[in-house]
Amino acid sequence: MPTLEELFSQVDAAQDDIIALEQALVKIPSVNTGFMPTGDETPVCEYARDWLGQDGITSEILESAPNRGNLIGRIEGRSGKAGLMFMSHTDVVPVEDDAKWRFDPFSATIADGRIFGRGASDCKGLLTAQLMAVRILLRNGIELEDGLILAAGADEEHGGRYGFGWLADNYPEKLAAPYAVNEGGGTPIQAAGALTYVLGVGEKGRLQVEIDVKGVSSHASVPWQGTNALYRLNRALSAIEDYDPDRDTSTGLFDHLSTFAVEHKASPENVDDIIAEIEPDNPRFASMLRALSRMTLTPTMIRGGVKSNSVPEAIRLTCDVRTLPHQDEQYVRDQLDEVLSGIPGVSYEIDYMARPNSSPFESDLATHIRSVTERAIGRGNIQWVPAISNGFTDSRFTRPLGTVTYGFSGSHPDDDPMLNFTHGTNESVGIKSLVSGTKIMLGLAYDMLAVK
């Protein structure tokens, strides 16, 4: 059996194939607008299925709706059960204004050591790395003890109802693995002079809260005969603006602040001071710490009133709420009750768009990610920090299935993650990151699954 270092040199030698695969995937415009019919992920799945088929790997396409395919490939091991799952998604967000792009967003043009295109970074780069890792594993005849699942879902960009959400509901057995690697982490950052990688261990919850404010309608010429719901809304909005959430430093990242040259141990009492200290030099990190140290409650939309000459009796205020992993629905209700207390005619409903979720920072997979990454990029002494993200990924569907899931794409430290412009104009991925990502995915499969 080849050594891991030999496999890594094969990845280096396969750079042109990696680039070609990424380009082919980016050129398939699997744009997800969120309004059906949309997504068109099946052609991406078919391309990947045929590509895997060249090495005799069978995979299946499961469509949740016409043309909304989900790809599941599986390499069996001796044990018959899977030991690891590679996750990614095949849909991409729409292009806002292609005139602003340096290149056609679906041309996958190479420039400055990067491949440009919508989805190049999110998430076709990770899919490329995972497909390539599978191919090299197979071509070396490496036998597996536990099997490897490759799952690429549809609809990640619009909530996953046609993708991993649907797979988890309908085919949980096809996703059954103790560990999974997905997008949503693996970004290298320079902190206090040391190379630091962020491992995505969890995601804040997202809730939509509908606050109904009731009054009594009357003709606007005699407003004293009614109760104007807008004045009650005004009180509710002021109370929300003044909401002072509990500070919370229980998220794992706060145990690793020394990595960022923050000397004090963070506590709810001093976290705002720490954030203020970091802010001038590192506003992005300060913003992340702010988000990870509290629940947020943000009014975003308003509807109400029926006529310009009627006192409105019903207003609906929509709020976006983000919760930390341990802040449950009761916590949210307690907070809302407190904020809205004393304002008459107000009631609310909570709708979960995404439950907060997390995996432990220490696990067998985390240990392997650390050691494989050091070898793949040839750097020792890497610092690791666990991160909870503000946004969410398909990991929220696999964590409740009992799968320890990490966001880790294996970007190369020479590629500036700020250049990825995920969801933005001129999205791109560094070629070095495609290569390092492939090595890391391959290394994980080799270390964790191969028969030794």
Q: Which is nearer to Zn ion, 77 or 125 (CB)?
A: 125
First to last CA, the chain: 9
State the amino acid at position 448 in one-letter form: M
Spatial distance between the Cα atoms of 92 and 348, rounded to a whole number of angstroms: 34
Structure-block tokens of residue 150:
């490759």
Rounded to a whole number of angstroms, the minimum distance from the CB of residue 156 to Zn ion is 5
Q: How far is the CB of 350 from Zn ion (least distance, A)?
A: 26
Structure tokens at 359: 């995996």
Which secondary-structure segment (H or E) carries 25? helix 15-26
Minimum Å distance from CB 116 to Zn ion? 17
Nearest to Zn ion of 32, 196 (CB atom) = 32
Shortest distance in whole angstroms from residue 47 CB to Zn ion: 18
Q: What Cα–Cα distance (Å) separates residue 358 from each residue in 208, 392, 439?
A: 20, 11, 26
Q: Of the two residues 21 and 233, which places its CB atom closer to Zn ion in the complex? A: 21
Cα angle for residues 423, 435, 71 (degrees, 5° grid): 60
Q: Strand 114-116 and strand 428-430: pairing? A: antiparallel
Q: Which H/E stretch holds residue 212?
A: strand 205-214
| Rounded CA separation 247/182 (Å) | 29
The nearest distance, CB 119 to Zn ion, in angstroms, is 9
> Which residue number, 137 or 198, has a Cβ lying nearer to Zn ion?
198
Q: How far is the CB of 120 from Zn ion (least distance, A)?
A: 12
Supply φ then ψ for residue 114, to 5 degrees: -135, 160
Nearer to Zn ion, 22 or 122 (CB): 122
**Distance of closest approach, residue 188 Cβ to Zn ion, in angstroms:** 18
Closest to Zn ion by CB, 155 or 183: 183
Nearer to Zn ion, 125 or 386 (CB): 125
Task: Identify whether the C-beta of residue 357 lies closer than 8 Å to the C-beta of residue 395.
Answer: yes
What whole-number distance in Å separates Cα of residue 73 and Cα of residue 85? 10
> 56-76 burial, b if ≥16 CB within 10 A, otherwise e?
ebebebbebbebbbbbbbbbe
Instruction: Point out which residues bind Zn ion (CB under 5 A).
Output: 122-123, 183
- Taking alpha carbons only, the member of 450, 365, 376 closest to residue 75 is 450
Give 162 or 446: the residue with its C-beta nearer to Zn ion: 162
Would you say 254 or 397 has its CB closer to Zn ion? 397
CA distance 131 to 95: 26
Strands (E), 59-100: 59-63, 69-75, 82-89
Shortest reach from residue 88's CB to Zn ion, in Å: 8
Q: How far is the CB of 321 from Zn ion (least distance, A)?
A: 22
Nearest distance from residue 420's CB to Zn ion, in Å? Answer: 11
CB proximity list for 409: less than 8 A, separation 6 or greater:
125, 126, 129, 183, 185, 186, 187, 433, 437
CB nearer Zn ion, residue 123 or residue 311? 123
Rounded to a whole number of angstroms, the minimum distance from the CB of residue 394 to Zn ion is 8
Nearer to Zn ion, 32 or 249 (CB): 32
Cα separation, 46 vs 148, whole angstroms: 20
Q: How far is C-alpha 328 from the chain's CA centre? A: 20
